[in-house]
Amino acid sequence: MANTLRRSREDLLRVLLDTATDLTALRDVEAVLQAIVRRTRAIVGADMAYISLNDPERGDTYIRQSDGVTTPAYRALRMPLGVGVLGQVATGLAPFQTSGYLADTSVVHDPEVDEIVRAEAVETIMGAPLTVAGRVIGALIVAERRSRRFEPEEVSCVESIAKQAAVAIDNSLRFEEMARRTELLNVEHRRSAAELQLATRMLELDRRLLDAVMVSPDVDRVLTIGRGALDDDLHLRDASGGLLATTADRAAAEAVPDPGTAVAITAAAETLGTLHTGSVLDSDDRALLERVAVHAALALLFSRAEEDADLRGQHELVDDLLSGVDLPHDRLERRMRRWGLRSDDRLWCVSLDVSFADARRCRQVLRAAIGRSVMTVHDDHLCLLTASPGWEDGLRAVFEGHGWPLRAGAAGPVTSPRDLPDAHRRASLALGSLVTLDRDGVLDGERLGMVHALLDLARAGGLPGSLTRAIDPLLAYDDERGTDLARTAFHYLETDGSVARVAALLHLHRNTVRQRLTRIGVLLGTGWDASPRRLETHLALHVRDAQVGLRRPGASAPPG
């Protein structure tokens, strides 16, 4: 698979951030172009990369800077717009690629250009246009001296770099042109005050936004800086329209539709949301808003990357703690300390059913409410390991506050990480019992018994029907005749064979109870209430009780 696919999202973000840094730090056009082609070539893993700039007067595009090109003729190549891959991409229609340039009949060929390409031994060419505010200023190209098909993710990567490169080049060209006019022609008076003010505002805004993103990927800070530059409230919404951040009152922003200007926030071909203003902006302020949107996208992606890295770390730690494998004490202590935990803490293990909501959102609010904890999606539930004694109060407050149904199994505290695998099994078993019984609440794994283990097997589809078949004749008799023999048998075994207590529980005469017991003996056979069949019958009736309820109304099930 291509190199881009082997690199993480953080690699792409770093390239975008480096390009944005050049926008503020570099004023020399050639330095900006050289940095862009080198980074593009490195992240895509191509033999060469080059940037061309369009010449509107001549109607062509020419290579301005390259990296990896060996022949002088190729480095100085000029291509008519619409001819070859370079000329086609430079028209600004869309990204384009070919895996066999010289034999590709879909490309408009120029014999002189083909000879230059053949001398460089180029076979594969792919590129994306450089556009700024709807203007096409050139193309960003990568090429190979072998046949290669670039994946969609690689094309999106080059396209994303091209967007940042276009801004960097445009700003550098603007600065170079301004300096040239000032120094050589002394025509500063020809520039309008509005253009000069916009350039100054944009450079200052970029500097402040870049500082905000580099110091901390805080989208709220980015919006605050944008609000100061535009003197207008900004509202950031996700792809579905939900409010992510705002510089105004949150309740008012959620209640009132955005009447102003909207700019899409995108990165690496992904739409992250939209940035809205409170009023309609003119073209100059819209350009500033677009710069805010670019940095808001970087802040969102950096925040997501940091969160993903944190979640991966928690997942790996939880997996190691629950694996039962002895881990080096110093290394374990160091990893646990990252989330405020110690190996000698009293730890609780909680298994949560979060199928009702987004697990990412649930982890975010639980982390803030409970603290001193790690959590990850483990098997079919969210596993929480915490050293906070008040974890249950925090858990209930979070779920009640969000209107989420709370269904959790818990075990602990344990005083050694070696005991966590057993605690996790007990917590998962407790959660499985709640799911099977379709009950909400928090169930302590210490209160579990054999029946809950059987219920968990039933939930997982691992309980053979033969294990409860002993009471099938009793259940069939009750169904056919509307009798209550199963309930009678259940309470008889629960009370250690006390006819008097069964009669009191079911509000029956003792003779009626004896008659029922005689009928039960006929249906189940002699010895149903004596060892070894007694345990089998009792467990089968317990499972039936958990499924349909054999106790009298109002009675609660015992923990075991």
Contact 128, 95 (CB under 8 A): yes
The pLDDT, as a whole number, for residue 76 is: 93
3-state secondary structure of 323: helix
**Considering all CA atoms of the chain, what is the largest pairwise distance in Å, rounded to the nearest integer?**
119
| Alpha-carbon Rg for the chain in angstroms | 35
3-state SS, one letter per residue, for 190-220:
HCCHHHHHHHHHHHHHHHHHHHHHHHCCCHH
- Residue 393: count of CB within 10 angstroms of its CB: 12
3-state secondary structure of 222: helix
Contact 234, 223 (CB under 8 A): yes
Instruction: Say if strands 407-414 and 441-444 run parallel, antiparallel, or are unpaired.
Output: parallel
Answering whether pTM is above 0.75, one says: no
Domains along the chain with CATH numbers: 3-184 (3.30.450.40), 192-306 (3.30.450.40), 324-459 (3.30.70), 465-548 (1.10.10.2840)
- Cα 7 to Cα 11: distance, rounded to the nearest angstrom: 6
- State the amino acid at position 377 in one-letter form: V
Which runs of consecutive H residues, i.e. helices, occur in 60-192?
72-75, 84-89, 111-120, 152-180
Contact 40, 127 (CB under 8 A): no
Backbone angles phi, psi at 180, to 5 degrees: -60, -45
Query: Of the candidates 546, 353, 318, which has an alpha carbon nearest to the alpha carbon of residue 431?
Result: 353
- Cα 54 to Cα 380: distance, rounded to the nearest angstrom: 56
The pLDDT, as a whole number, for residue 243 is: 79
Please list, in sequence order, all residues whose beta carbon lies within 8 angstroms of the beta carbon of residue 119, skipping any fewer than 6 positions away: 71, 73, 74
Triad 190, 194, 195: Cα angle to 5°: 65
Triad 32, 34, 37: Cα angle to 5°: 110
Question: What does each of the 560 residues of the chain score in pLDDT, given as a tens digit?
Answer: 445 444 545 565 565 566 556 545 555 778 888 888 998 898 889 999 999 999 999 999 999 999 999 999 999 999 999 999 999 999 988 999 999 999 999 999 999 999 999 999 999 999 999 998 888 999 999 999 999 999 988 898 898 888 878 887 887 777 777 777 777 656 555 556 667 777 777 777 778 777 777 766 678 888 888 888 888 888 888 777 777 788 888 777 766 666 788 888 877 677 778 888 888 888 888 888 888 888 887 877 777 777 778 778 888 888 888 887 887 888 888 888 888 888 888 999 999 888 655 666 777 778 778 888 888 887 778 888 999 998 989 889 888 888 888 889 898 899 888 888 888 888 888 887 777 667 788 888 776 655 556 665 555 555 555 566 778 888 888 888 888 888 888 888 888 888 888 888 888 899 888 998 888 888 888 888 887 778 777 777 776 665 555 554 433 443 33
Run of H or E including 272: strand 270-277
3-state secondary structure of 49: strand
